């Protein structure tokens, strides 16, 4: 069953500029600039005053789902360019004294479970990573980049073929954006 027309509007806060070119939206704020491209050609976006208006005519439930997904992405972008998205990881080392360091956008973990070769990860552009004591902080104005970098750092210390109840060493996400893990 087709829905005749569906409209959603999102308010643009003060100090933020937004532009729409075709199916690409770019939003810039004090923390940075984020661009987003959406695939569905039936969804039209227009900036009217201080609102982003999304409209779709004669759509199915799948296109309705795409529209609400785009609304959620735009809200995340608006939050990101105002406040930023923050993830925190904790360094836990029980068996061997692990050393985590950063240089030239490359994070390296030395002496993880006694390994001689350090594990390294090149940080994506657009993410800020800081190491303070046993806490690693990942911050970005793009939620997808911040989450991906935090997950990749956590995945660097994944342990296989060992009992996880005993080998609890690694870097673990303790704070996700908007949530705290207990």
Q: Contact, 82 vs 13, CB < 8 A?
A: yes
10 Å CB burial of residue 30 (0-12, 13-18, 19+) is exposed
Looking at CATH, the fold of the domain delimited by 85-180 is given as Outer Surface Protein A; domain 3 (3.90.930)
Dist. CA 79–CA 71, nearest whole Å: 12
Q: Which residue has the higher pLDDT, 36 or 159?
A: 36
Looking at CATH, the fold of the domain delimited by 3-82 is given as Outer Surface Protein A; domain 3 (3.90.930)
CA 57 to each of CA 37, 48, 61, 92, 130: distance values in angstroms, whole numbers, following the listed order: 20, 18, 12, 53, 46
* pLDDT tens digits, 27-48: 999 989 999 998 888 888 999 8
Banded pLDDT at 145 (limits 50, 70, 90): very high
* Average pLDDT for the chain: 89
Domain boundaries, the chain: 3-82, 85-180
Residue 147 has pLDDT above 90, yes or no: yes
- Bridge partners for 110 per DSSP: 99
Residue 178 has pLDDT above 80, yes or no: no
Banded pLDDT at 181 (limits 50, 70, 90): low
- Same topology for domains 3-82 and 85-180, yes or no? yes
């Amino acid at each position: 069953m087709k829905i005749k027309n569906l409209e959603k509007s999102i308010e643009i806060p003060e100090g933020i500029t937004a532009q729409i070119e075709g199916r690409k939206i770019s939003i810039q704020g004090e923390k940075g600039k984020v661009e987003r491209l959406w695939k569905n050609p039936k969804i039209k976006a227009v900036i009217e005053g201080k609102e982003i208006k999304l409209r779709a005519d004669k759509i199915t439930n799948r296109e309705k789902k795409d529209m609400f997904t785009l609304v959620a992405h735009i809200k995340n972008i608006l939050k990101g360019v105002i406040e930023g998205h923050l993830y925190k990881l904790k360094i836990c080392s029980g068996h061997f004294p692990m050393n985590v360091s950063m240089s030239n956008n490359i994070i390296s973990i030395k002496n993880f479970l006694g390994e001689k070769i350090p594990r390294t990860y090149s940080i994506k552009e657009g993410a800020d990573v800081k190491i303070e004591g046993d806490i690693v902080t990942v911050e970005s104005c793009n939620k997808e980049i911040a989450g991906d970098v935090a997950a990749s750092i956590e995945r660097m210390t994944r342990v296989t073929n060992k009992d996880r109840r005993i080998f609890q060493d690694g870097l673990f996400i303790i704070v996700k954006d908007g949530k705290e893990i207990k």
